Structure 1
């Protein structure tokens, strides 16, 4: 089996810009608003002076000393709590995505994932199945779900947090799509039930966190459970017409780990690609933001 090893960065995007990175932070523009947020991978120095960061930013996220996973937004200029941006590509994908400031520094969007939205749209468009069944696990606010739906898929979207499933529905409606199936459930429990029922999917999307909790407090640890999860996914992936997209953001993982996991679990892996996702700032620094592995029978 041949594999392509790639480093992928989204192309030009009118509504998004990575202005600068460094000092464990990133300075980004989403639409007309500029945010300064923590970024653990940006261990180098900032290119722009601190004064310019403060002058440009509408809001800055400050972490809590007692809990580095949470914090507060410091409003530096007037901006709304909620706003929206658009994404489009030359293939015809058009998304409208709703953003908001949260207490976990996230705003409902991971811009580096645009390369995966493009992949999903292209892959589903060329599927020999008229309406391929696609399962999106750990689906968060659903940009991948909406991209898959826009390409013609029958999409099941699963996340353990009810509020982000509601957020995803808003993104679907804003993007002019309908009829995504919403599930608030624990990902592992759901796919094991699907395997027992004999249900099959033509496409599976996985973007698991390093750590997480299911709706009933089920514990998720990426290193301990991803191997088992992929084995169950192999049971429910259609053996003939299929694709799988795995994305992981963990400082300890490389795409070679993803390749080993996939190649020891799945049979007949075709058209395989793996590598890093990154964003390039306006100062020509490349910010790594996770790894991916994807393959498709078509």
Structure 2
């Protein structure tokens, strides 16, 4: 079956808006809070004037190094933590956001495209409570959406603090019984294979670089082929879905297509493409490439 290449952007956000982007920055609204953050992909000029950016934002991230920085608030009374929600036609979830020293706030809004695919697919399966494995799961957006749709979810991340954050989001979303695992993703997958466990869904959103809880090293281009080879063996032959999402300047949708087809030559219904956010001021901000497929 021919591969379909897609450009996708979220359709259902109310609590998030990309207002503008350019000159290596982005102006974003999360709920009632407007942030300015660095954005290496935004190499074009801003759509709005610098004075408009200065007037509209509440908090700006000021980098001290390539990996850390400080948040500069217009009003010192602004809180470092706040809540937002997300709802698509199937389910709704909530998040606790926070100002971290490495410019993130706890969600990647473009991932809502994948969340919609997950909830739609889980609800369409004949399996009563599909098992879903979320690897490199961060603060749990995909885990929450799968659980809200009725899946039995295992959430794996190597950083204990972000797993704790994901659990906070579970409580905010009034969900329960997600299985939390703090472990290196590759090690967990290998152990699941030895146990003979199977899943109806696997979600991977690996970083370009990372470390496991025991110092294990992850480098996307060195380890992703091995990871894909292993995870496809975890899929239930009867019905399944898999999502691979990568945010790396060196990866294209063609690379993702080759990775998936090498790991699973018989794959059907494979879609690859690029996720982006549409700025209200006009520009499209590319934010990673994906490959996904499903079998009903």
Give the TM-score category using the shorter length.
over 0.9
How far 1:51 moved relative to its partner?
2.0
Once residues 13 and 137 of structure 2 are traced to their aligned partners in structure 1, the CA distance between those partners, rounded to angstroms, is 22
TM norm structure 2 = 0.98
Aligned partner of residue 5 in structure 1, secondary structure: strand
Which range moved further: 21-30 or 50-59? 50-59
Report the counterpart of residue 214 of structure 1 in structure 2: 212
In the TM superposition, 1:187-226 aligns within 5 A as: 187-226=185-224
How far 1:283 moved relative to its partner?
1.4
Report the counterpart of residue 81 of structure 2 in structure 1: 82
Once residues 98 and 175 of structure 1 are traced to their aligned partners in structure 2, the CA distance between those partners, rounded to angstroms, is 10
- For residue 180 of structure 1, the aligned residue among 168, 174, 178 is 178
Report the counterpart of residue 20 of structure 1 in structure 2: 20
Report the counterpart of residue 114 of structure 1 in structure 2: 112
Report the counterpart of residue 151 of structure 1 in structure 2: 149
> Tell me, which stretches of 5 or more residues in structure 2 are unaligned?
none
Aligned partner of residue 264 in structure 1, secondary structure: helix
Report the counterpart of residue 161 of structure 1 in structure 2: 159
Contact 1:241 1:297 in 2 (8 A): yes
Aligned partner of residue 79 in structure 1, secondary structure: coil
Runs of 4+ that moved beyond 6 A:
none
How far 1:137 moved relative to its partner?
0.2
Once residues 70 and 44 of structure 1 are traced to their aligned partners in structure 2, the CA distance between those partners, rounded to angstroms, is 24
How far 1:12 moved relative to its partner?
4.4
1:155-194 CA-to-partner distances (Å, cap 9, x unmatched) read 0000011111011011111111110000000001110111
1:49-89 CA-to-partner distances (Å, cap 9, x unmatched) read 2122122111110111xx31111111123421100111111
Report the counterpart of residue 8 of structure 2 in structure 1: 8
TM norm structure 1 = 0.97
Contact 1:16 1:31 in 2 (8 A): yes
In the TM superposition, 1:103-142 aligns within 5 A as: 103-142=101-140
Contact 1:269 1:297 in 2 (8 A): no
1:274-298 CA-to-partner distances (Å, cap 9, x unmatched) read 1000001011100000011100001
How far 1:267 moved relative to its partner?
4.3
Quickly say closer, same or farther: Cα 1:148–1:12, change in 2 above 3 A.
Answer: closer
Once residues 20 and 109 of structure 1 are traced to their aligned partners in structure 2, the CA distance between those partners, rounded to angstroms, is 18
Report the counterpart of residue 240 of structure 1 in structure 2: 238
